[in-house]
A and B are shown apart, each in its own frame.
Chain A
Amino acid sequence: MRYFFIIVGVLLIALTIAAGLIWVERRLLGLFQDRYGPNRVGPFGLIQVLADMIKIFFKEDWIPPFADKPVFVMAPGILIGTILLTFAVIPFTGSFLVLDSNIGILFFLGNSSLGVYSIVLGGWASNNKYSLLGSIRASAQMLTYEVFMGLSLVGVVMMADSFSLREIVEAQRGMWFVIPQFFAFVIFFIAGIAETHRTPFDIPEAEGELVAGYHTEYSGMKFGMFFVGEYLGVTLISSLIVTLFFGGWLGPAFLPPAFWFFFKTVCFICLFILVRASLPRPRYDQLMEVGWKILLPLALLNILITGAVLIYLK
């Protein structure tokens, strides 16, 4: 029974935060751009999300006649599904987690690879050149960035001696991994932005050139699912950064561990939005070049040095 409550709780928290992020992001972007953002509906515009949701539910959910219907319908579900599944292994506190898996990190990496399918299939099934271009870009970008996203985590795994996210947090009692694994953190953060394909790495969407990229043909709640999926991804990557590098729920004891986890995650979500507010979108080949020529060797070097130091200390 307790198990059931935790699952429902995690689902509710994740979806509420993702929906709330729509408002948070617009307000924060307003703050960084010297304006207000939505402030009409309800106090501070808080009901804006609700209004948007009502609007999106009443919109016509149109499937283009030239689309590959079953795949078209399935694609947004895959995105939400894989991201929500990954939340199962995130340790919100030492005891509040759905699944204390001994392969937590691998589970996350596997799920994020599956998430690529949603975008590739969505773009493919739309049968539209812009969607297809967007999904080609997305697949190349996400495959590239997944390579060193995984490699950047190897250092953390070596230091914690475990794939379990809970044990990785426990291993950070002495020192947060962000200090010995600083480069891994930077690489993981960059890869995380690319993984959730947000600005500056929103090349698959690139509304300046590709209309809306892979979700050009989507409308109504299917588009809404892509939209919420992006914010779920931001929440997920932020909570993973906190878990892997910033000591998860660990913090001074005067506040409960859940608070520390929540607080750190919110900080990283705000950092995501700040990065979006300040950086332009690079060209596609530049993105690939940075990925393969700089970040991948850096990740490998990080593994090498971490391994050497660990052996030396042993």
Chain B
Amino acid sequence: MISILRSIWFTFLHAFHKRETRGYPEKKPYLPPRYRGRIILSRDPDGKERCVACNLCAAACPVDCIALQAAEDKDGRRYPEFFRINFSRCIFCGFCEEACPTYAIQLTPDFEMGEYDRQNMVYEKEHLLIRGEGKYHGYNFYKVAGVDMGVKGKGDGDNEEPPVDLKRLIH
């Protein structure tokens, strides 16, 4: 009997507690920068695509939602001819971002991707590619890569020594 009255009293006290509800569409929640949401493709500081179409993201993807086709431009620089992510399959695990050697593919704090038509969940390259550098500013893969792709001369890269003059060692 006492316990019944006690529980009624404690329920009544809840009337003065703070409500747990977040009014979502009106009040947006704070999402940390590392939140794993909508996937984007980023660009170099000089505005070129970072993606080198290595297919590692597609291989890492546990649900096979990434499809791409590699191609080469006239300098021999690789880029994806098409890059397609099926967001109705994507589980936002972030493995593609971890696998990416060039910081090209990144997850962003945005999850509002609802669509009425299922086909619209398939994002093509023009939907994925953004103008900026995403989370990693100032990073250019070809500045640290071994190959010369017109971005840096031999020995000009970040953390790279000028080439050793072999003839100097001989005599």
Point out residues on A near B: beta carbons under 8 Å.
Answer: 30-36, 274-275, 277-279
The answer on a CB contact under 8 Å between A278 and B19 is no
By the criterion CB–CB under 8 Å, are B15 and A36 in contact? no
Contact B11 A36 (CB under 8 A): no
Q: Are A32 and B14 in contact, CB atoms less than 8 angstroms apart?
A: yes
A36 touches B4 (CB 8 A): no
B17 / chain A contacts, CB cutoff of 8 Å? 34
Chain B residues, Cβ within 8 Å of A278: 7-8, 10-12
Partner of A274 from the list B11, B18, B19 (CB cut-off 8 Å) is: B11
Chain B residues positioned under 8 Å from A277 (CB to CB): 11
Q: Which of A36, A275, A279 contacts B19 (CB 8 A)?
A: A36
Question: Is there a chain A Cβ closer than 8 Å to B21's Cβ?
Answer: yes
A residues in contact with B117, CB < 8 Å: none
**A275-B12 in contact (CB<8A):** no
Chain B positions 1-45 with a Cβ under 8 Å from a chain A Cβ: 4, 7-8, 10-12, 14-15, 17-21, 23
A274 touches B7 (CB 8 A): no
Query: Count the B residues whose beta carbon is within 8 Å of the partner chain — how many?
Result: 14
What are 23 A-B pairs at a CB distance below 8 A? A31-B14, A31-B15, A32-B11, A32-B12, A32-B14, A32-B15, A34-B17, A34-B18, A34-B19, A34-B20, A34-B21, A35-B19, A36-B21, A36-B23, A274-B11, A274-B12, A275-B8, A277-B11, A278-B8, A278-B10, A278-B12, A279-B4, A279-B8
B19 to chain A, nearest CB (A): 5
Other-chain contact of A35, B4, B7, B8, B21 (Cβ < 8 Å) = B21
A209 to chain B, nearest CB (A): 22
The CA of A30 and the CA of B20, in the complex, are separated in Å by: 10
Name A's interface SS.
helix
Query: What string of 1s and 0s marks CB contacts (under 8 Å) between B79-97 and chain A?
Result: 0000000000000000000
* A contact residues around B12 at 8 Å (CB): 32, 274, 278
When distances are taken between beta carbons in the complex, the residues of chain B under 8 Å from A279 are: 4, 7-8
Taking a contact as CB atoms under 8 Å apart, the answer to whether B20 and A35 are in contact is yes
Known: A36-B23, A274-B12. 20 other contacts (CB 8 A): A30-B19, A31-B14, A31-B15, A32-B12, A33-B14, A34-B14, A34-B17, A34-B18, A34-B20, A34-B21, A35-B20, A35-B21, A36-B19, A274-B11, A275-B8, A277-B11, A278-B8, A278-B12, A279-B4, A279-B8
Q: Which residues of B contact A34 (CB under 8 A)?
A: 14, 17-21
**B7 nearest in chain A by CB position:** A278
Q: Cα distance A277–B20 when bound, in Å?
A: 17
Q: In the complex, A175 Cα to B17 Cα: how many Å?
A: 36
B10 vs chain A, min Cβ distance (A): 7
B10: A residues at CB distance < 8 A: 278
In the bound assembly, the distance between CA atoms of A35 and B23 in angstroms comes to 10
- B159 nearest CB across to chain A (Å): 55
Measured between beta carbons, the chain A residues less than 8 angstroms from B23 are 36
Tell me, in angstroms, the Cα distance from A35 to B14 when the chains sit together: 10
Q: How far is the CB of A286 from chain B (nearest CB, A)?
A: 13
User: Whose C-beta in chain B lies nearest to the C-beta of A276?
Assistant: B11
Residue of A whose beta carbon sits closest to that of B17: A34
Give the shortest distance, in Å, between A139 (CB) and chain B (any CB): 26
Q: Which residues of A contact B8 (CB under 8 A)?
A: 274-275, 278-279
Bound form: Cα–Cα A30–B21 in Å: 10
Closest to A29 in B: B11
Name B16's closest neighbour in chain A (CB-CB). A31
- Mask: chain B, 100-138; 1 = CB below 8 Å from A; 0 = not: 000000000000000000000000000000000000000
Using Cβ atoms and an 8 Å threshold, which residues of chain A touch B11? 32, 274, 277-278
Nearest-CB residue, chain A, relative to B8: A278
0/1 per residue, B140-157, Cβ < 8 Å to A? 000000000000000000
Shortest 8 CB-CB distances between A and B: which pairs? A278-B11, A278-B8, A35-B21, A34-B20, A36-B21, A278-B7, A32-B14, A31-B15
Give min CB distance, B6 to chain A, whole Å.
Answer: 9
A271 to chain B: closest residue by CB:
B8
